[in-house]
A and B are shown apart, each in its own frame.
Chain A
Amino acid sequence: MTLTSSGSSQKTMELICPAGTPSALRTAVEAGADAVYCGFRNETNARNFPGLNFDDAELREGVAYAHARGAKVLVALNTFARAGCTKVWQTAVEQAVAAKADALILADLGLIDWARKTFPDQRLHLSVQAAAATVPAIRFYVETFGIRRVVLPRVLTVDEISAIASNVACEIEVFAFGGLCVMAEGRCLLSSYATGESPNMNGVCSPASHVAYAQEGNGLVARLGGFTIDRYPSGKPVGYPTLCKGRFSCNAKVMHVFEEPTSLNTIGILPALQKAGVAALKIEGRQRGKAYLAATVRAFREALDALATERQLPLPELSGLTEGSRQTVGSYRKTWR
C-alpha cells in the first residue's frame, strides 16, 4: 500500500480547475491548471446549467488541447443515473473514455460498478457527491472499485483530512476556492423540495429556471420555486438565491439559518493542506466566467509555485470574485464546533 503523504516526500499539490466551456478549458490550461474538470451538456454532471458544458466533439478537442500542453482532463459524471435510463450515463462514460479523459469523476454506485467492469483500466475518482467523508467509507470505494482518488466533502478540518489521508490507499482532493456547500454534498434535497430539481437527479441546485428576482418596495426580493430566499435592501450586495444561503425567520429571529453567503478561500492555508497529505486542490465554479477563472487559477498557480520553492506565499486579493465579497476557510478551521 502506498500512501500519498509521507513527510519528506511531499509532492506539490495538483491544481484542478473548472471548465464550463471549451474556451474556459483553454483559459484554465493557459493560466496554469495541472488538470481541468468538465462535463457533458446534459444531466450526467452536477453543473447542468443552461449554455454550459461540452458535447462529444468539444470534449475530444478539449482533451487534445490539454494533453498537448501537459494538462489533464477529468470528466465529471457525478449525478445519480435515473432509473430506467442508466444507458445515458453509461454512454457518457463511454464517450469520456473514448475522448481519452485522464479520469472519470463518479458518484453513483451503480455507475461506478459498471464503469469499473467495462473499463478495468480507466482511472476513477470518487466525486464529492458520493459524500465519502470517513476512512471506512473511502476504503469501501477503494477496495470494492479501485477508486484512485476521493474528493472530500467540505465538512472536514485540516486535522481530520490528515487523519484520513494517512489511513486510505488513494489520493485526496479537497476544495480550495469558490462556492461552499454547507450540507453534505450528494445528500441534500433542499433544491428539489422547492423546485423539483436537485443536484443528485438533475445536476442543478437552486436552478435558474426557478429563480425570480422582483423589485418590491425598497429592495430586491429573490425567490426560488415561489419560496422567498432573501430580500436585499437598496444599494447592498445581492446574492444568487441558493437555498442554503438564504435568510429565513427562525426562533423569532431573521438570520442566515444555514450559512452566510461566503466563499471558500484556502490560499492562506495551503502549507497546512499540503502537510495534511492533500494530493490535489479543486477550484469550484464551472458556472463562473473566464475572467474569474483566469484570476483564480493564476493566483493559485503562483501560490503553489511559491510553496514548491518555499518562497513567501503571495496572498492575492480575490474577494472581488466571491459571493457576498466575503471569504472563509470553511470547515478547514472549524469555529462552530
Chain B
Amino acid sequence: MQITLGPVLYNWPTPEWVDFYARIADEAPVERVVVGEVICSKRTPFRQDAIGDVVERLERAGKEVILATLALPTLKREISEIGETAEGDRMIEVNDMAAVYKLGGRPHIVGPFINVYNENTLKVLEQLGARTVCLPPELPGPSIGVIAAHRSTADIEVLAFGRAPLAVSARCYHARIHELSKDGCRYVCENDRDGLEVDTLDGQRFLAVNGIATMANGVTVLGSELSMLAKAGVSRIRLLPHTCDMVAVSAAYRDLLDERIDTAEFLSRIRQQPLPGAIVNGYIHGQAGGRVA
C-alpha cells in the first residue's frame, strides 16, 4: 500500500507551512503529497509565492505532487482558478463537481468531498478520468470492499489518519464564533492550527471548527484495519496533516504496512504524539464515526 499525505486543511502561517513540507520532502516515507488549499480561497494568496518552491522540493525528493482544489467553490474567481490549476502539468484533486466539469475528462484524483458511495458512481467517475478515488470518511468497511472490488482504472484510497472533515458550509464558522463577517474575518482561523474545539454543554469533546469546514474532534486512526483494506483492494491510505510530528506518524504507518512493527507497537507510537483529539475509528466498523470500535 502507498501512503498519500493529504492537503493541510487548516490555515497554517506560510513559513510554518513551507517548513512543514521541507521536512516532509526530506524525511517522510510517503509516495504522494497533495498540496494546496481546500477549505477557503482567502488563505491562498499568502502561499502563492511559496507553493512553487514547495512543489519543486517535494518532487526533487521523489514525491508525486497532486494539486488540491476547493471543496466548495462559489465565487467566479474560485472556479476559474480551478480551471487554471487544471491547465497545468500536474494532476489535480477535485472536491466539487464544478472541477470535474472544468477538467473535461482529463486524468485527475477524486478527493474525499466527492460523494462516492457505490460501484456505479465509481464507474462513472473512472470514465470521466479519475485515477485515484479517496472515499468519503463515513463509508463502512463492507462498502469500501465492494467499491474496491469493482475498480478498473482508479486506485482506491481511504482516510487512515487525522480529523475527518465532516461538513462544509457557505458560512465561515471561525468568523461567526469571533463575531466577524466572512469578508472581514481577520484570518482568525490561523490561531487554530488543528481546528477550534467545539465541546458539548456537558463538556464532551465533539467537533472542531475550521473556517467553512466542520471537522471531527476525534482523530481517525486506522491500524489493525489496514491489512483487511489491503486484501479488499485498497491500494492507498491518506494521512491528514496535523501539528503533531507527521514524519513520525507517516513512519509509523510505513513500518506497520511493511510489517516491521505490529499494531500494538504502531498504536503506542501514534499515542506518543500530541494528537488534537481522542483516537476514533467508528466509521469503518459501521458505527458512529466518533466511536472507538
Binding site for B on A (CB under 8 A): 80-86, 107-111, 113-114, 130-137, 139-141, 153, 155-156, 160, 182-184, 186-190, 192-196, 198, 200-201, 225-231, 244, 246-251, 253-255, 257-258, 331, 336-337
Contacts and interface: CB of A to CB of B under 8 A. Distances in A.
Nearest to A163: B76
Given A83-B144, A134-B98, A225-B288, 8 more contacts: A109-B115, A113-B124, A137-B101, A187-B115, A248-B198, A250-B196, A250-B199, A257-B198
Contacts of B138: 189, 192-193, 198, 200-201
Contact of A255 (B99, B136, B147, B177): B177
Given A228-B200, A228-B202, A337 B181 contact: yes
A331 B170 contact: yes
Interface string B164-198: 10111111110111100111000000000000111
Query: What is the interface of chain A mostly: helix, strand, loop, or mixed?
Result: mixed
Given A110-B118, A250-B209, A228 B288 contact: no
A223 B177 CA distance: 22
A107 B290 CA distance: 26
Contact of B97 (A81, A141, A153, A198): A141
A137 B206 CA distance: 32
Contacts of B100: 140
A250 B172 CA distance: 14
A153 B74 CA distance: 11
B15 interface: no
Contacts of A248: 198-201, 206-207
Interface in B145-173: 145-147, 164, 166-173
B62 interface: no
B113 interface: yes
A183 B206 contact: no
Given A84-B143, A227-B204, A251-B196, A108 B118 contact: yes
A82 B201 contact: no
A227 B204 CA distance: 7
A194 B288 contact: yes
B288 A137 contact: no
Interface in B107-148: 113, 115-125, 136-139, 142-147
Contacts of A226: 204
B123 A251 contact: no
B167 A190 contact: yes
Interface in B76-111: 79, 96-102
Chain A CB within 10 Å, residue with most, of B142, B286, B290:
B290
A110 B206 contact: no
Given A196-B282, A227-B200, A110 B123 contact: yes
A134 B177 CA distance: 27
A254 B146 CA distance: 43
B166 A336 contact: no
B173 A80 contact: no
Contacts of B164: 189, 193
Interface in B44-83: 71-74, 79
B214 interface: yes
11 contacts: A81-B118, A130-B97, A133-B74, A156-B74, A182-B171, A184-B167, A188-B167, A190-B214, A248-B199, A257-B176, A336-B182
A243 to B, nearest CB: 9
A226 B120 CA distance: 35
B289 interface: yes
Chain A CB within 10 Å, residue with most, of B74, B167, B183, B202:
B167
Contacts of B101: 136-137, 139-140
B81 to A, nearest CB: 12
Given A134-B96, A249-B199, A250-B198, A192 B288 contact: yes
Given A83-B147, A196-B288, A183 B169 contact: yes
B274 interface: no
Chain A CB within 10 Å, residue with most, of B117, B123, B137, B168:
B117
B140 to A, nearest CB: 8
B143 A189 contact: no
Contacts of B139: 83
B203 to A, nearest CB: 7
Nearest to B127: A113
B287 interface: yes
Given A196-B288, A257-B209, A84 B146 contact: yes
B124 A109 contact: yes
Contacts of B283: 192
Chain A CB within 10 Å, residue with most, of B98, B124, B169:
B169
A6 to B, nearest CB: 22
B38 interface: no
A46 B291 CA distance: 24
B216 interface: yes
B98 A200 contact: no
B182 A249 contact: no
A74 B287 CA distance: 33
Given A184-B167, A193-B289, A336-B175, A108 B115 contact: yes
A201 B117 contact: yes
A301 B122 CA distance: 42
A193 B200 contact: no
Contacts of A249: 198-201, 203
A325 to B, nearest CB: 22
Given A109-B124, A189-B138, A336-B176, A134 B73 contact: yes
A110 B119 contact: yes
